[in-house]
Amino acid sequence: MPAQRQPGLRIWLGGKPLDRLSDFVLQLEVDERSDEASTFRMTVDMSPIDAEETGDWDAIEHGAFAELHALPQLYLLQRVTIEFSLASDDEAEPAIASTVFDGYVTCVEPVFGEYRVPDSRLILSGIDASCLMHFETVTREWHGRTDAEIATEIFGKYGFAADDTTVETTTPKRELDRSTLVQRCTDAEFLRMLARRNGFEVFVEPVDGEVAAGAHPGRTVKGYFRSPAVDAAVQPTLALFPRDAPSLMDFRAKWESHQPTHVRAWTIDEASRRIERADITAPGYARLGDFDRARILDQRLGEIFATGTRPDPVDIQSADVPHDSLDLTHLARADYRVADWLVTGTGTVRAERYPAIVRSRRPIELAGAGHLLDGRWYMAGVRHRWGIDPDRPEEEQVERRYEPDVTMVRNGLGGIG
């Protein structure tokens, strides 16, 4: 039977550790996704101190947050860092820990229940450090830089670390005498537009084991601008067996037919006046399985239309204006990557039996689902859930639980990716 581990939680406020976890934090969710910013939602106890006489409520007036600020409304933009861990009963075995969130409170919601005590709560929610890039609308013309160089500059503008290990090289470099990029949006929106044009992910992520003091995380948060990292180091295997002690408690997969199997794009080059074309039939990174959608549809449509004209599942790319023929290829490949994920899988991990903190934006292995589904997947999202069981009465609550809900994608069926 796999080793059992005890889940743990650590929280820092402004880089300072929070001690009152056992009775203060009732529920916590951190949602990591490959297609958008990470978010958190934390429910804390709001027990009153002489509420009827003084109007004081513990979490707002005298709680762990309030000691950092003179006014309760300054919960907003309080920096929050969150780490989940798994500790073995064997003291000789080191604990497994991962910092999954470093960001800011963006919404404060006191909830006063019907009975006041114990059903009054304070709900704090927020967004990772990329929210700092979403305050100011910027008007700027960009030229003489590639998209990757623009991303690196913007990450640096906000004090985040970014280098060639986190920012993937791109082409072309748009020169002033040919064409430029005009930004009329926030830096966060502009980075997401650049990422979409290249078929990239864009996100910020904290460095494990490093929590900088102060209101800003500094270079302990890294900025990423890259293709899905399907070839990165693989996380430990999620196993559906043995049935009495699986690390993946349940699993559901889905794949569909109606998506394009190749993308065709064309434009008239303004310099040469020639028609430039691009025809994309591969994502530009590893195929996670033997049977992609193109192979499946080619066989099935061939059988269905054996005596007629077979339709061609092609998408014509025409929404963006390319800089040159190479940029045309990148734009077409970006559209192809969106449609290329064939299979989506969802499930819940039994954290005590899994030898790591499962993370989004990384590949992972699956075992026990059969030859079509076993093998390498890409983790598109992880929702880390920690807290009391909402279905049990409070007087029956014994311990906090940690369970990650996972969303995985794969661009092929069968084989080992």
- Provide the CATH number for the domain around residue 164: 3.55.50
Task: State which H helix or E strand residue 156 sits in.
Answer: helix 147-157
Q: Last residue of some domain: 291, 312, 340?
A: 340
Over the range 361-396, which residues count as b (16 or more CB within 10 Å of their CB) and which as e? bbbbbbbbbeebbbbbbbbbbbbbbbbbeeeeeeee
Q: How many CB atoms lie within 10 A of CB 307?
A: 5
Q: Are residues 215 and 151 in the same domain?
A: yes
Q: Last residue of some domain: 340, 364, 381?
A: 340
- Using CB atoms within 10 A of its CB, is residue 401 exposed (0-12), middle (13-18) or buried (19+)? middle
Task: Report yes or no on 194 lying in a domain.
Answer: yes
For the cut 50, the answer to whether the pLDDT of residue 121 exceeds it is: yes
Contact call for residues 107 and 88 (beta carbons, < 8 A): no
Q: Are residues 206 and 146 in the same domain?
A: yes
Strands 262-268, 314-317: pairing kind: parallel
Mean pLDDT for the chain? Answer: 89
Strands 262-268, 275-280: pairing kind: antiparallel
Q: What is the pLDDT of residues 254-273, one digit of tens each?
A: 999 999 999 999 888 877 78
CA angle centred on 231, ends 188 and 377, rounded to 5°: 85
Q: Are residues 270 and 195 in the same domain?
A: no
Task: Report yes or no on 162 lying in a domain.
Answer: yes
In the numeric block, which tokens belong to residue 29? 């969710």
Q: What pLDDT score was predicted for residue 301?
A: 95
Q: Are residues 295 and 220 in the same domain?
A: no
Q: What pLDDT score was predicted for residue 180?
A: 86
For the cut 50, the answer to whether the pLDDT of residue 251 exceeds it is: yes
Parent domain of 162: 134-226
Q: How far is CA 58 from the centre of its chain?
A: 33
* pLDDT-based confidence at residue 161 (cuts at 50, 70, 90): very high
Handedness of CA 50, 52, 55, 57 (dihedral sign): positive
Q: What pLDDT score was predicted for residue 70?
A: 45
| Count of domains observed in the chain | 2
Q: What pLDDT score was predicted for residue 69?
A: 47
The Cα 63–Cα 68 span in angstroms is 9
Task: Report yes or no on 232 lying in a domain.
Answer: no
- Using CB atoms within 10 A of its CB, is residue 186 exposed (0-12), middle (13-18) or buried (19+)? middle
For the cut 90, the answer to whether the pLDDT of residue 304 exceeds it is: yes
Q: Are residues 200 and 268 in the same domain?
A: no
Give the range among 47-51, 188-192, 244-248 with minimum mean pLDDT. Answer: 47-51
In the numeric block, which tokens belong to residue 347? 């499930």
Q: Phi and psi for 151 in degrees, rounded to 5?
A: -60, -45
The Cα 357–Cα 10 span in angstroms is 14
Handedness of CA 140, 142, 143, 145 (dihedral sign): positive
Task: Report yes or no on 48 lying in a domain.
Answer: no
Among residues of the chain, what percentage have pLDDT more than 90? 68
Q: Last residue of some domain: 186, 206, 226?
A: 226
pTM of the model: 0.92
* pLDDT-based confidence at residue 294 (cuts at 50, 70, 90): very high
Task: Report yes or no on 8 lying in a domain.
Answer: no
- Name the residue with higher pLDDT: 286 or 25: 286
